[in-house]
Each structure stands twice: as structure tokens, then as C-alpha cells.
Structure 1
């Protein structure tokens, strides 16, 4: 690993990634990879998780293509020095923030969306001028193998390296010094990544997960709410970090919710989801066993059918789940949806706030007061009202967690900003040295007063000319007065 990382660092230190033209060329090459090899990528996803071409396009390709096009078209603006407000003391200086690359970024991808969740961070790393070591998840083995094959064919293979393998290879990588680490996965491994990063004081972005709650208010269109929740929960067989993890509702509407979800599932996957081309599989038998074990002791409203040989678990809804049940102690990450009943909105809010802060929060209500209370009295990485997961698709919004669900954010410009060092720059001239007298000894009360004035008066970045005009006018007036005194 040392040889790999040192090779990438040497490529970065050559300076070629500082050129915006180089970055754009690499972004175009990545776009070409995604568009030219979609059939191969979709085939790998089919083998990994039984995902259809339609879902691969919807959940992997579209977001990636949009992020690449956005980065290329706006890169000049994103990378430009950003003027800032000044104070009176530096009114004549150039004061700005200059986005600069960190250096070598380690990107550790996830298996549930192995292309989008690995390459979207890479888009930002390239745009920001970084080099990168990419570690795809070994669980999506066909995608990892294909990524290792394709990236060197399209990208600068010295600047962007792929490392395959499992936990041992990841652990070896984490022993190396990187300038930034971007990890997508679960909080248990996230803590290990953060611990490893502390050895080199490396900044991290952790995109984790958690139990994202979904509150359904009795004052809403329950049929539409359940239709949207069913889509978000059972797509990718529930293996999405922002899938609704559980439903909170009043007891009076629990049966209606169950029936609406059952009807929607029939519409989406017919009578037998196992034979639907649109229904995915659990990634492997380990996770199959984990999800099945979570349901022990629960009351199944419908579903529960399974086939370990195919890693298949039918869309399942659990009713009357209690907070102490095992399924409520960890993120489900599978096609099982528990329903917990609460007496009112306040109880729902208290339930949410007693748990770790989730990556996403979903609220379904037609009552603006209910929505306002949920937004005001809870905390989450993101929130969607009367829909699920859709906030992920808006690349002008930051995507990321809070607390146990992660740190840092990405998508669109946010990825560029997170993977750039924002360097503070002040450039002065040797002129007007008299303005600096207030900071030099001998220190007097008068000088302290002038220094305080200079530091407290804030000017916008374009105000130097205004200040210069005022001072020039004052000097001109002073000279005119002196001349009049002499003449008189």
C-alpha cells in the first residue's frame, strides 16, 4: 500500500492537477466511462444485487452524470478566488479565499450503490484538484472488479488508483497518510476510520446511516404517503442508507397504513416479489441472516417469506413493534418495515429525540403546525416532508449526517468545497505605510483607538476605491485650505 499511495502522491506533486483544464479533461473522461460502459456496469450490478437496468439508471447513472456535468460547467467559478468583506485596516489590500486541493484523498465506497457512492466523491476530488485512491467495497465484488478494470482505461492511472480487497486491504490503507478520507458505510466502521485518521490528523467525511424515522400524521393523504414510503423502503430491497427505517403513527391509522402498503406492493411487484424483475436481493447470506434475526419475536402483518439460497426476503411489514425489540436497536438495511404506535405528535418527537440523530427524517402531514414542530424540535442530516429520499437527488442541497449518522457533506458544489482547502489570502503593497503606525510601538492610547477603529469597521470587498476616494478628497481639501491660508 505504501508504494501505491506514494506513487499517487508523487503524481499529485507533479502539479498537473492544479490546471483547471486537466481537471475538466478528467471529468469528461469519467463521464465517458459512465456513458460508454453502462451496459457493463448494469450487468455487474445485476450480478451483485439483482438490480434492473431501469433501477441502475435511476439510482446510479443519472446522479453521477449530473454531478459530472455540473462540476465541469461550474468549475471556473468554484475554483476562482472568492473576495471577502474587509475592514478599514486592509481596505487597500487584496483579500480573498483561494480554494486549493488537499492532496491525496482516500475514498472508501459502499456496496449498496457501488458506483454512485464511490464515484460521486471522486467527481468532487477531481474537480478540487486532488489525487485519489479509490477503495470500492469488496461485497459488491463484480462492480469492484469492473471498476478496477475501467478506471485506468479512462482516467490518469497515476493520479487515480483503485485498490481492491476486503477488510485487511482497507486496514492497510488506513495506516497510510492521506490528506483527506471520505468513507461511506456504517457507524461501526466509521469510528475505526476516524480513529485511524487521528494518527495523521487527517480530516474525514463520514457518510453513515442510522434509523431514519417516518412519521405519518392522521391528517394527511395516507394512500399517497404509503405509496411513496413503499417505494423508498423496498427499492434496492431496503438497502439504502436513507430508506425509511420505521414508521411512527397513532394506533387508529395503523391498519389503514398496513393495507395501503400491501396494495402498493401488489402494484409494484405483483403477487410475488421474488419473480419481479424490479425487486433486488440482499447482498450476501451474512446480511440475509442478520436481517432475518432482527425479526425474531415480532408480529408480521404480512410478508416474511424468504429464500436463503437466493438471498431473498419478501417485502415485510411488522405491526405493534415495541421500542425494546431488537429490530429497533440497529439500522435494518433490509426490506422489513416496523410500525411503532404513538399517542400523539409529542410522543413521536420524544421517541425520535431519544435515539441517535438520523441521517434522514420523513414527515407526512397536511398540517403546517405538525410539520413546523417536527422541523423545529428534532435534528437529522436531512429532512423530506410528504416524500422520502427525494432530497438526495437535489445536488444543490448538501447531503450528509449529523452526530452518529455522519459528518461532512457532499453533492454538487458541496463536494468540491469539502475536498478543497479554503486558503485565506491577504496581499499588501509597500505603499501607505502610515496606515500601519497604529500597530507599531511605542504603543499609546491614541494608537490603540485607531487600531480598534481600523479593525471594527467592516467594508465590502469593493469598498477600497470608495475609501481611497474619500481619503483623496480629504487630502485635496486639506491642501486647498493650506493654500488659501498662505494666500490670505
Structure 2
């Protein structure tokens, strides 16, 4: 008996979109280097023309200022495009390699080839950077691409859809907006490459879906990476860099320091310098160097990780404005709630250690 599978309207649409992109890819239109360079330059020009709209959208989503948006989103993205334009011809060259004895006297080459249809699933914390940078890589490689931005910063998702969908053929590039149902429907399709940025939990779902078709996947996930301060470290500079990295984007940054491991002999000096550095930066929306937590669910999650008895500095917050002020926790143990998951917020736990082996044991637990 044949099984009847009911599909939603969007599943049918997604299936057709992927097929259209595969058909377009098979025409070899995306393969020439000239085409790829032309499209990359076109994307750069469009982004620069719409920069003010992009600033306005991300400010409305979670209060990110023009300065911070340029610093961590727009300029790194433009730099990525510039690098791709500059180096694409070299990247695409055939590379001569040694031929083994079995195949002698043949000549052997590595030949970079486009993969086909790619799916990029972006993250909400740096929505432009973490959605459009993988898109740039896919374009440079000669693929067609479907981009699914995070729905949480809805306005940035809207502006990316506008920029891409109004200026590029959907058979080549297409932004698909939506939430879990749309992402689920997209993942049911067959791709030649999937690039996902987000949590390990969702990464497992993406990887499982890709495995059905043996699709190659790149997962850029979070973690609990510490900064380790040894007894003889450059403490002042280390604290300066750690504090900036921890509280930029209000800690909503997958490559930031999750917690600090500090040698017991310098712990008090570390705490003192950390507070001084926070106050010197004067993190606030008014100073254009601090942002809101993305939504109330994440606000509540981060606040619940703050043990009032372990607050060394800060700990204050405003749910109506979705602001959690820079917070340092001390006397933290691995059993505390704040050490059970990636924080992804402006909270810095400090754990002391005595030997470097002990620090490494903390770091891999």
C-alpha cells in the first residue's frame, strides 16, 4: 500500500524552491568566476545602500546602536565580501599535487567545485553577520542559496528579506522568513550543503535532518569557553579585553568568554580591575555600547542564573526594558546553575584555581 503524506502549503513551496534552485545551478550559470564576482559586488553595493535601514531595524529589535552595529555586524561583513572579491580567483585555481606511483605518469590536481544548493540558517544574536557572512561564502563558492534568518529579531529578518529578495533572482538567492514550522519544512528538503549557527540542541536537529541525505553540514555552535588567568599573566590587559568581549552585545555572543578561571593569588586583584573596567566603559544604551536582551524568555533565563548570594558586582535588571546590567559572580562552583549551560548574557562567573591542571579540569568538565 502506498503511504499518503500530507504536506503543508509551505512544504510544497519549499520543495519547489529547492528544485528551482537546483535546476538553475545545473545550468552552470553560477559557476563562472566572473558571475560570482559580479554578484558579490552587487551584494556589497546593496548592503551599503540599505545600511541606514539595517541600523534602524536592529535598533528596534534590541537597541543596538549604529556604532555597535557597524563594529560587530556591518564592517566585518563588508570585510568578508572584500576578501572574497580579492581572493576568489586564487581560491578557484586548480592546485597541482603529487601523483602516486600507481597513477604515474599522470598529473594530479585539486579542482575546487561548487557544491549545488545550500541552506544557511542564521542566528539571532548577530543577525546580519551570522546570516550574511555564510551567504557570502556560498556565493563565492558558486552555489545557489536559501537563507533562513532567525525570526527573533523580526525587523532584521524583514530587512534582509527585502534586500535579497528584491534584488536577486529567487532561483539564485532567496531569504525565507518564519519560525520553527518554516525551518522544519526547509530541513525536510535535500541540499548539497547546510550551514547552521545556533545552539547545540538545535544543531543536533539540523545534523539529524541532514543525515537523511548524507548532506555535508557546518555547525557553528556555542559552548562554555573560559578565560584562564594564571598567576603571572598580563592581568590588566587581560581584564580589559575580557570585560569588553564579555559585555559587548550584552554577552549575547557565542565566541565570548563564558566564565573566568582565575588563580587564587590574583583573584581579588582581578575582581577589582574588572569592576574598574566595567565602570570605565560605562556600559549603557545611552552610551551606544550596550543592548537589550533579545526577548523576555531569554531575559528570564539569564536572570534565573544569577544567584543573589554570589553577586560581587551588578546583578540589577529591568524586565520591562529587557536590560540586565553587567554582573560579576564569585564563590562560584561547577554545581551552580550558571555553570550548567552557556550563559549568553552579561554575567561573568569567576572561579578560582590553584594549579593549571586544576584549571584545565574545570575547563573540560
Specify which of 301, 304, 321 is matched with residue 293 of structure 1.
304
Contact kept in structure 1, 2:225 and 2:363, CA below 8 Å? no
- Length-normalised TM-score, structure 2: 0.93
Which residue is equivalent to 1:73? Answer: 86
Contact kept in structure 2, 1:26 and 1:156, CA below 8 Å? no
- Equivalent position SS for 1:86: coil
Q: CA deviation at 1:295?
A: 1.4
Residues 1:219 and 2:222 are matched in the alignment: no
Q: Tell me the alpha carbon deviations over residues 72-125 of structure 1, each in whole angstroms, 9 at most, x when there is no partner.
A: 122122112111101345443232121111110000000111111111111111
Specify which of 232, 247, 263 is matched with residue 250 of structure 1.
263
Contact kept in structure 2, 1:48 and 1:142, CA below 8 Å? yes
Q: Return the alpha-carbon distance in structure 1 between the equivalents of residues 216 and 22 of structure 2.
A: 17
> Could you say what the CA RMSD is over the residues aligned between the two structures, in angstroms?
1.4
Q: CA deviation at 1:190?
A: 0.2
- Length-normalised TM-score, structure 1: 0.70
Q: Return the alpha-carbon distance in structure 2 between the equivalents of residues 80 and 337 of structure 1.
A: 46
Q: CA deviation at 1:173?
A: 0.5
Which residue is equivalent to 2:214? Answer: 201
Residues 1:333 and 2:344 are matched in the alignment: yes
Q: Return the alpha-carbon distance in structure 2 between the equivalents of residues 249 and 178 of structure 1.
A: 45
- Equivalent position SS for 2:227: strand
Contact kept in structure 1, 2:60 and 2:155, CA below 8 Å? yes
Q: Return the alpha-carbon distance in structure 2 between the equivalents of residues 328 and 188 of structure 1.
A: 17
Q: Return the alpha-carbon distance in structure 2 between the equivalents of residues 328 and 104 of structure 1.
A: 39
Contact kept in structure 1, 2:310 and 2:332, CA below 8 Å? yes
Residues 1:344 and 2:355 are matched in the alignment: yes
Which residue is equivalent to 1:116? Answer: 129
Q: CA deviation at 1:299?
A: 0.6
Q: CA deviation at 1:263?
A: 1.0
Which residue is equivalent to 1:83? Answer: 96
Q: Return the alpha-carbon distance in structure 2 between the equivalents of residues 188 and 13 of structure 1.
A: 34
Larger RCO: Structure 1 or Structure 2 (Cα < 8 Å, ≥ 6 residues apart)? Answer: 1
Gaps of 5+ in 1: 355-488
Which residue is equivalent to 2:201? Answer: 188
Q: CA deviation at 1:352?
A: 1.3
Which residue is equivalent to 2:158? Answer: 145
Question: Which contiguous aligned blocks of 4+ residues in structure 1 show a shift greater than 6 angstroms?
Answer: none
Q: Return the alpha-carbon distance in structure 2 between the equivalents of residues 335 and 143 of structure 1.
A: 22
Q: Return the alpha-carbon distance in structure 2 between the equivalents of residues 202 and 87 of structure 1.
A: 30
Residues 1:48 and 2:61 are matched in the alignment: yes
